Amino acid sequence: MTLNAKFETISISTKDKVLELSLNRPDQLNAINALCRDELQSVFNAFRDSADLQVIIITGAGRAFSAGADLKDGSVDESVIDSVESRWSGDFRVALANTGKPSIAAVNGFALGGGFELALACDFRLASEAAFFAMPEITFGSIPAGGATQRIAQLAGPSIAMELILMGERIDAMTALRLNLVNRVLPPEELMEEARSWAGKLAAKAPLAIKYGREVILKGLDLPIAEGIRLEAYLGGLLRATEDRLEGRAAMLEKRPPKFKGR
């Protein structure tokens, strides 16, 4: 499947190096079924491999970002013990995190469970004032399985992760902002405009610098600080020899916008 394919559960558009993806099951509150998981993974892989696209914005159609896993989806396999590794390696949120390119969640409504985890897998989260978030899995005898236990703990600390995941209660957008789970909270009518503004700024930067900057930040979370600084120095050194760095310096001296080529 490619970005030119017809999709049933999502809609996409591209403009100026930016891919916009909308979960498009509004009557089901954008709940994620098996087909949606497959379509998301396909798009994320195609986005990763595209030389023309540099940033992705993810949002939801209607009044929800996503209600999470579609519990009415008959294809859901409840006996997952033997397939945990294969499920994780094939998870669409892993595919998104591994694109090497910036991602922005424009959370237009509620983001629950796996929908919240999709937003957490993005590099940036902008939330509408009408948005709210919850990890309700505990209320039906489970825990999150798409990265929330780790990503919430990294962003907000283990105590907040315990509260959200073990209590299962919802929080509003301003609380999410206070807990460092979102970057900005905006009036609903300004959400997509702001997301596109952020995407445009990111798309105008040197692709390799964006890739390496993102990589060292994320990998550094798992490294002692000295090793993280060593990785930063190594990747920074690689960038010094790129055409884009030479172009950036020339553009600054000539007082003109740079023309980056990703080389």
Report the distance separating Cα 168 and Cα 174, nearest Å: 18
Nearest to 92 by CA among 53, 36, 21, 137: 36
Let me know if 85 is a catalytic residue: no
Report the distance separating Cα 228 and Cα 219, nearest Å: 8
| Secondary structure, 3-state, 74-142 | CCCCCCCHHHHHHHHHCCHHHHHHCCCCCEEEEECCEEECHHHHHHHHCCEEEEECCCEEECHHHHHCC
Tokens, residue 222: 């798992």
CB 110 within 8 A of CB 67: yes
Per annotation, catalytic residue among 78, 137, 189, 190: 137
Let me know if 232 is a catalytic residue: no
Give the SS3 label for residue 211: helix
Report the distance separating Cα 78 and Cα 67, nearest Å: 19
Per annotation, catalytic residue among 117, 129, 163, 189: 117
Give the SS3 label for residue 203: helix
Active site residues: 117, 137
